Amino acid sequence: MGLLNENDIKWMEEIWSQVEDKLAVVVKRSGIKIPYTTKDGVFVDKFAEDPSWWTNGFWGGMLMLLYEETKDEAYLALANQIEDRMDEVLHMVEEGIHHDVGFMWYLSSGLNYKLTGNKKAKTRTLMAANYLASRFTIKGGYIIAWNGTDRQGWSIIDSMMNIPLLFFASEETGYSRYKEIAIAHADKTLENFIRPDGSVNHIVVYNPETGEKLETLGGQGYEVGSSWSRGQSWAINGFAQAYHHTKDQRYLDAAKKVAHYFITCISETGYIPLLDFRSPKEPVYIDTTAGAIAASGLIDIAKAVPSHEKELYLSAAIKILKALVEKELDVTTDTDYLLRNGSEAYWGNKHLSIIYGDYYLMEVILKLKNISE
């Protein structure tokens, strides 16, 4: 793109080298653990506690990113072991399968197949796509979030990050139904989640028989009508990916609209997002994961817009990355995590090292490296 200067490129390559060196140690120490967060700085095996936990695909995804960048077969071998372990969940249909199967398989098995042609990985990814497609309500026009008959009308912004799994399935099988479901859900989300100012609802409740919007819920934010930052970042990233797969300008415009709101908010806080942009000033809660996720989406926007627009989004992504690295990154080998101070929810656990923060931090660095090469 020609928008990264030599100092930025050199700095970014140094950060990646530090991350890579740390993870080489962490991978050997962690083995086949599938982590979510850490205890005393060391990964806890979330799979042993909850095999169907929604983040259980991110560690395999990180291993595949390492393999893609380094071509070290040891990372691929461990990723395959992790995927074998995850097979148990593919048979937990009632209690284990939910709307986040994209996170659980597309980032790991999907990339595995793209890079290696592994047919086993392809089968896993397509099975996950079938499960996600089965959650689409025909009358309502959306993908159902979570499980339980009392939540059949619930849809969440997070699911925009799972529909790339459906686009993948259409591309690989040639069947349009997967893509049609993804587009229908994206259209429904576009209509009902993004507010006029560019902020985003976390949860929208529909009438499952008619698709009528009944109410919005505060979800993981401060309250109804507030602005949970990770929800904003899911929207930026998810709509940017929807544009990539469809070239529908409405999706790119939606990603840009939310991005403008997000950039305005973080410019007031040193480019580290608050946990909720519409919460009380005190106490101050941040969410580094929201920053990493949004930065990844901003890079995708920069790739899609005309040349005179690119700098706005790419510059914001770099500023977020620099703030995260300077204030919240741990590249010592004493700990297993990369980013500090992730948050689950405003009324939930905070100040955590969370695996998806680390995943998207890696994704941001690698996307910027690829742009500069």
The catalytic residues are: 100, 158
CA distance 355 to 241: 21
DSSP-derived secondary structure letter, 107: I
Sign of CA dihedral 347, 353, 359, 364: positive
* Tokens 């249909």 belong to residue: 93
CA distance 11 to 341: 23
Please classify residue 17 by burial: count the beta carbons closer than 10 Å to its beta carbon, then call 0-12 exposed, 13-18 middle and 19+ buried: exposed
CA distance 289 to 295: 10
Q: Identity (one letter) of the amino acid at 87?
A: D
The alpha carbon of residue 206 and the mean position of all alpha carbons in its chain are separated, in whole angstroms, by 24
Helix (H) or strand (E) holding 36: strand 35-39
Q: Helix 6-30 and helix 355-372: axis angle, to 10°?
A: 140
DSSP-derived secondary structure letter, 158: G
Of 124, 143, 145, 152, the residue nearest 183 (C-alpha)? 143
* Tokens 């070239």 belong to residue: 247
CA distance 332 to 218: 37
Helix (H) or strand (E) holding 142: strand 142-143
CA distance 352 to 55: 14
Q: What length is written for the chain?
A: 373
Can you give the C-alpha Rg of the chain in angstroms? 19
